[in-house]
Amino acid sequence: MTEHQKNSSPSVALISLGCPKNLVDSEIILGLFAGEDYKITPRMDEADIVVVNTCAFLESARREAREVIEEVFIWKKKSSGKVIIAGCLTQYYGEKTPEMFPEADILLGVGEYGKLPGLLKELSSGDHPRSFSGQPSPRFPFQRAFPRRISTPSHYAYLRISDGCDNHCTYCLIPELRGDYQERSLVELTSEARRLVEDGVREIILIGQDTSYYGYKSGEGRGLSSLLESLNDIQGLDWIRIMYTHPGHIDRLLLQTIAACDKVCPYLDIPLQHINNKILDKMGRNISRAGIETVLQQARELVDGISIRTTFMVGFPGEGEKEFAELVDFVIAQRFEHLGVFQYSPEEGTPAFRYKSGVDEICSSRRLEKLMEIQQKISAERLKSLRGEVIPVIVDGGYPESGSPLMVGRGAFQAPDVDGIVVIEGERITAGQMVEVKITDSSEYDLYGNSPK
């Protein structure tokens, strides 16, 4: 028995892998533990229970998850602790999960977090619950209100408005892992947002597999626009940011709403994946190059000063030199504010897995590097143009270098973790503050400035 287990309240450490959508699941898991009088610790060596909330979107993510789980099992052998494996990896392996991870004490699929309190009682009584249904169509129980223990800095939080996806892109495992699209009600989302603001949150970031699909399936024509208007009325909230939209679900109404709502950042994350019509069709994106260009043109016309983040996939089956050259020309012409690139990964269980690859890893890696070199120059030029300007910045915390008096923040055009930062010099600046910063210098992706005394 560890020293911690001698205490009246056992402790739990959670390792969250994957994207912000998965992070919200992790926060719910932590909230459920806190509700059962468990202590939360960031250190595995101080824990009685370790939870690994996994990602399985790509083979690289599954490999990372398995490596982390092996490290946790080594910890278990050295202690008398317990291990819980949750999330997409258990869903991916399905009925094979118990034999894949026999050392695990509890296994939870993506729709099974609500079972955790009961399973913990069984575990504490000496039983070996290992509950996992492996249901093929996981449904997160949105009809229930779950507690959350926010793990981001206290001034911003993610608000997950939906789960699952109906788009069925040919390369994507999400419908298999998360099921069909389902969304939370406007009333419930607004209520949660108000609670977050009451707890000190100043920036709310909307996430889901396709946030722009909000309201489409239920027939509510205004969908995401109505939600933005409702959130915009919350007193004490400064910024609302929209992530993970699909270009096929962005209309003039949504763009006009972004422009009209003063708290909605002029920022839109639109993963485009490609621009060649043949590749878009093989990807199952349900939009053409012309449709994408129309969306981008309308966004820039209707939303003053909008910053657009996108991602592209290289190496998809059928992407020859001609198709890649078209993508390069498009990136140069559009001059996106933020851009990410990733290599195609053939995932068993997706329609694209049956396609002939045609592009080897070395070639797709070179294509990735070329696009990022182009974007680096574009970003450096854009940020250089901001020198001398004064912009509002939300302060996230201290500069990571030990002993540095500098602070780090973000402008309205920068999302946490995926975009650049603003390094701030100034006195009496604390995390969570909204400050005016005069930009004095810039690099390829970051800005530098000072806040007047």
Structure tokens at 108: 């939870």
Provide the b/e sequence for 400-431 (b: ≥16 CB within 10 Å): eeeeeeebbbbbbbbbbeebbbbbbbbeebee
Structure tokens at 284: 């199952």
Instruction: Identify which of 372, 370, 367 has the alpha carbon closest to the alpha carbon of residue 315.
Output: 367
pTM of the entire predicted model: 0.93
pLDDT tens, residue by residue, 127-171 = 665 555 555 556 666 666 788 899 999 999 999 999 999 999 999
Q: How far apart are CA 191 and CA 362, in angstroms?
A: 49
Q: How far apart are CA 199 and CA 193, in angstroms?
A: 10
Edge-to-edge, what's the strand order for the sheet holding 49-54?
39-40, 11-16, 49-54, 82-87, 106-108
Rg over CA atoms, the chain: 23
The pLDDT assigned to 135 comes to 54
Query: Given the DSSP bridges, would you call strands 390-398 and 434-442 parallel, antiparallel or unpaired?
Result: antiparallel
Residues 337/386, Cβ–Cβ less than 8 Å: no
Provide the b/e sequence for 171-207 (b: ≥16 CB within 10 Å): bbbbbbbbbebbbbebeebbebbbebbeeebbbbbbb
CATH code for the domain defined by 156-384: 3.80.30.20
Question: Which region, left, alpha or beta, applies to residue 252 given φ > 0 means left and ψ of -120 to 50 means alpha?
Answer: alpha
Q: Which fold has domain 4-124?
A: Rossmann fold (3.40.50)
The pLDDT assigned to 5 comes to 46
The pLDDT assigned to 3 comes to 47
Residues 108/86, Cβ–Cβ less than 8 Å: yes
Contacts (Cβ under 8 Å, ≥6 apart) of 147: 28, 31, 32, 34, 35
Where are the domains positioned within the chain?
Answer: 4-124, 156-384, 390-450
Structure tokens at 420: 């650049």
The pLDDT assigned to 426 comes to 84
273: which DSSP letter? B
The pLDDT assigned to 132 comes to 59
The pLDDT assigned to 133 comes to 52
The pLDDT assigned to 160 comes to 95
DSSP E strands, 260-322? 264-269, 307-314
**Phi and psi for 448 in degrees, rounded to 5?**
-135, 140
- Residue with structure tokens 């997160």? 140
Q: How far apart are CA 433 and CA 426, in angstroms?
A: 12
The residue ranges of the chain whose pLDDT is under 70 are 1-8, 126-144, 219-221, 402-403, 453
The pLDDT assigned to 4 comes to 44
**Phi and psi for 251 in degrees, rounded to 5?**
-120, 175
CATH value of 390-450 in 2.70.180.20, 2.40.50.140, 3.40.50.720, 3.40.710.10: 2.40.50.140
The pLDDT assigned to 114 comes to 81
The pLDDT assigned to 222 comes to 75
